Structure 1
């Protein structure tokens, strides 16, 4: 099974299944000399972990990360970084009724049709639990970027649940309010409406979809390449890989179909340093597949969670019977609130990969941060005592 890697220079390779022993990620290409602690990674994982509120799954996973390679004395060494999160509350037995009777709109049948077998505990490899690996990798990418000479910051928030849509918010409002409520909506009044709507569907044994708005400020101009390596294409791959993603858009997105060329096009002016810059940002910080230096922004839509206790119909391909099922378990009634750190993580990973490729950050070491490692001898090493 391929498709478990993302990135060219900053590359993450993941493994693990929803109700298996553990989730894990190996990161290759992280520069040496980056200050990195378990706490840096854990802080991001805590934003994604289950059981945060009444509108998330009650599965009891602490998502405690162990960093088992690539870091010594609090700094990255330049070798692969290995991280593992043990599954502590797996209950695969609840999924035995669906071994040969696929749950509606899951990957049960498609995985079985492709491979002839599958891990039927929960969603197996297709479960959103796999994104714990992505958030861990994103936490590392975030530290690399924050310790570089570039002032880049990435934020996201839930801007719509069902038919409840938040008004446009500023980047400062996302900084201030996103983590203040369970929905992770940066507009507090709308967050309360969203929460009420989610709880209504939850009581009915149903679920609801929504969307996440993201913005990356400080992204330098010139990242990306034509065609298949364009910044938008790679970012689209990163975000459309998020489980339940049905639409990715940047800039005006689908609204662009309603704009004339004259209205959408942006004139040029000189900035304070005498360089050309576009007037406005309808393009979402990307023109010709390459970043302009303006904020990169857009939206990711996630469909409603497919595991719901409401009665549905399926077929058993082994017995040939049609049957009625109820997917009983511990499932989120909505995905965007826990999806916010996942989206931010994939943005950090994508931006860093392009910056390494473009030579904006030294791919071997972070300048000014690896002084201790200039010589083979390291005074704190037990072998040198």
Structure 2
């Protein structure tokens, strides 16, 4: 941290759901305070004020968000420096200290000592951008909804495969379309579909899928004709399928509503115009970049790529192990955003040409996409650094 040399007091806080433990030491390593405290603003302020008159204070936590959000907010409100130590670094440092006990007091003391003697292990925490904070919360909720929708969709396909495989082969691939959940809500079993008849099913599907509805109805009744036996449990499956389809419809509606709010926040953010000027950077990708990158300092495009887990890692040991391998570390949320954006960018001629060149060099599909994501990361770094919009390079002339 840039201000580490000016710090006089280091407070290490091992945060917990309902209780924390704080240890304060001075620059010489003398313990000034060792106290358990509850998750309470008043108690947190008291800890800071108890040592604030002894010099510049740095408070370090092992979790800057969720259960550690209140200590960070209180420290920032008190105007003192705030930092955090990543969990992996914390565990490695703890292994260097004697003893095998795992206590809050010991962890807090280790955090304070690391803050004093190992400043390179610390990460700074800037005052949160309100828009970025809101986006982070909404995007996290969107991720939860997406996982639940995927689980519901998979469960529907599993049940259909169990009771009528031919029907699943027709309905399953189109579950992403709103028409299919609507169909299963009203006619959740093979028997209900047969009873409704082809005309009613076609009318329902055409209402939500005007171009494909009649074709899907024909395929559904062709599939129904391929199986005459009734598998045990079909009646119960019909009850469950209706509930799952309704759940899937609700989850997707919630995601659409959430996307509207995320879009409004992204459009209001200063980085919106810069980010969305790049091909294949939509609302959700821009929101992820804002939440994971905004407010952080990156010295180079390589630094940003390493943070995102897009920079290759070199493995060398004598003459037996040599080569570069994909990183398994980094910010997985940001890496996924860059990867999916690179996949969508294959429609862009310039990105497609780069991808095809990597494929021609012998790289597999995912390797070529990672290489494209890294290239786009370099471009994005330059755009954010200079505050410029994406500019399509002029073709080279020979």
TM-score bin (small chain): under 0.3
Larger relative CO (CA 8 A, sep 6+): 1 or 2? Answer: 1
TM-score by length of 1: 0.22
Q: TM-score, normalised by structure 2?
A: 0.22
Structure label with greater radius of gyration: 2
